[in-house]
Amino acid sequence: MTMSNWSAVKRPIPVPNDLTRAFWDGARRGELLFQRCHTCGNRQHPPAPTCTNCVSTDLGFEPVEGRGTIYAYTVMFHSGDRRFADAIPYASVIVELDDAPGALIAGNLLGVPYTEAHIGRRVRVVFEPLNDEITLPQFELDQ
Ligand SMILES: [Zn+2]
């Protein structure tokens, strides 16, 4: 089974906004930051203006460990976006972190063939710098 050639992919670069800037600043430093509600303690991702549990607007960003399980995945066989053509087929994963149950984060499963993506498989975050400003949280198997 061949590995995806991510080095040849020219990814679209995320553009931080007021809601997501802290998340991207953390990723650049190698920290995965999730929103935490100061009213009820709920951790959530992606960033939102209100708590998804209690609708409080008293939210901050705190580090999470970055280990969890694959909640869902899909395998991309077609390159609708030609920039990803060198990587197909590849696995996109949705991950539920151990210390943020219910919050889901998307990424690619790196370092192994796409056939290694399975629901419930242990993964950990790794950080893939795209340029000086943006680093993308991604995932690899946590053996
Ligand atoms: Zn809350």
* 45-77 pLDDT tens trace: 999 999 999 999 999 999 999 999 999 999 999
- All residues with CB under 5 Å from ion ligand 1: 37, 39-40, 42, 51, 53-54, 56
**CA–CA separation, 115 vs 32, rounded Å?**
26
> Distance from the CA of 113 to the center of ligand 1, in angstroms?
39
> Distance from the CA of 52 to the center of ligand 1, in angstroms?
7
- The amino acid at 119: I
Query: Would you list the domain boundaries of the chain?
Result: 16-141
Alpha helices for the chain (secondary structure H): 21-28
Residues in Cβ contact with 33 at an 8 Å cutoff, skipping those fewer than 6 apart? 22, 23, 25, 26, 27, 61, 62, 63, 64
pTM surpassing 0.85? Answer: yes
